[in-house]
Structures are given as structure tokens and as C-alpha cells.
Amino acid sequence: MVAGAIVLTDCIFWFILVPFLAREHYNTFQLLPIAMHSTNVVFLLFETALNSLRFPLFRIAYFFLWTCVFVIFEWIVHACIRLWWPYPFLDLSSPLSPLWYLLVALLHFPCYGIFFLVIKLKNFLLLRMFLRDGESAPP
């Protein structure tokens, strides 16, 4: 359920925030965000390598549900309490925030697809490594 969200947040963090926005919006680049956005993908890949769960495409609904619940929770928290917003382009006070939220919602599809490809690659590599010559893959 969280695999696509990890791919999405890590891509946004490492490919947008770090190179382009870190100097403007972060006074000092703190260790906690770096550690958080580095270790979660390591744990995701480790967990993916160890599990044998099937990955049906309908589970994207759980991914969207989790993301919607999280975004609504963040909106409520930031509306009630003045907190630092780690992703400045998602700040609700910006007039372009609805457009940014739509873009992030659409980016869920390729991120979920990337994780789908990781699962397919894992299955391909496992079959390749553990099948003997002349054997066929199980259905």
C-alpha cells in the first residue's frame, strides 16, 4: 500500500527538493529528512525482496485511499496548527496549490508502475537464479 507513496515522496525529495529548493526553503539541510528519505526505500526494497505477496493491479485503490487519508490529515493539521511545511509547493496558502496537488495525484500512477516493475524484476531474477536448465516456470 505504501510502496508507491515511498517512490513518489523519495523522487520528489531527491529530484526536486534537494537540487532545486534546498537552498531556498531549508536553512540547513537536516539529517532527519535525509535519513528518512534514504532508509524508507532501503526497507521497502528489503521487504519486497523477502516477501512473496502477489501484486494485483486492483491494490492501487489502497494506495490512493491511503494517500487521500494522509493528505486530508495533513490539511487538517496545517489548518489548525502553524507548522513548517516540508514540501513548499504543497503549502495551502499558495494559489497554485490545487494544481500542485493534482499533479502529485497524477504522479501516483507512474510511481505505482515503477514499483510494479520492481516486483516483476524481482520475480524474473528469482526464476532465473533458481530454475535449473530445462525446467519451466510454475504457472
Q: Where are the domains of the chain?
A: 3-130
Cβ proximity of 40 and 10 under 8 Å: yes
27-36, 85-94, 108-117: which range is least confident on average?
27-36
CA 30 – CA 17 distance, rounded (Å): 13
pLDDT tens profile 15-56: 877 777 656 555 555 677 777 778 888 888 888 888 887 777
**Grid coordinates in use for 13?**
525529495
Of the pLDDT bands very low, low, confident and very high (cuts 50, 70, 90), residue 139 is low
| CA neighbours closer than 13 Å in the CB half-sphere of residue 36 | 8
Using a 10 angstrom Cβ sphere, with 0-12 exposed, 13-18 middle and 19 or more buried, the burial of residue 19 is exposed
Whether 2 shows a pLDDT value over 80: the answer reads: no
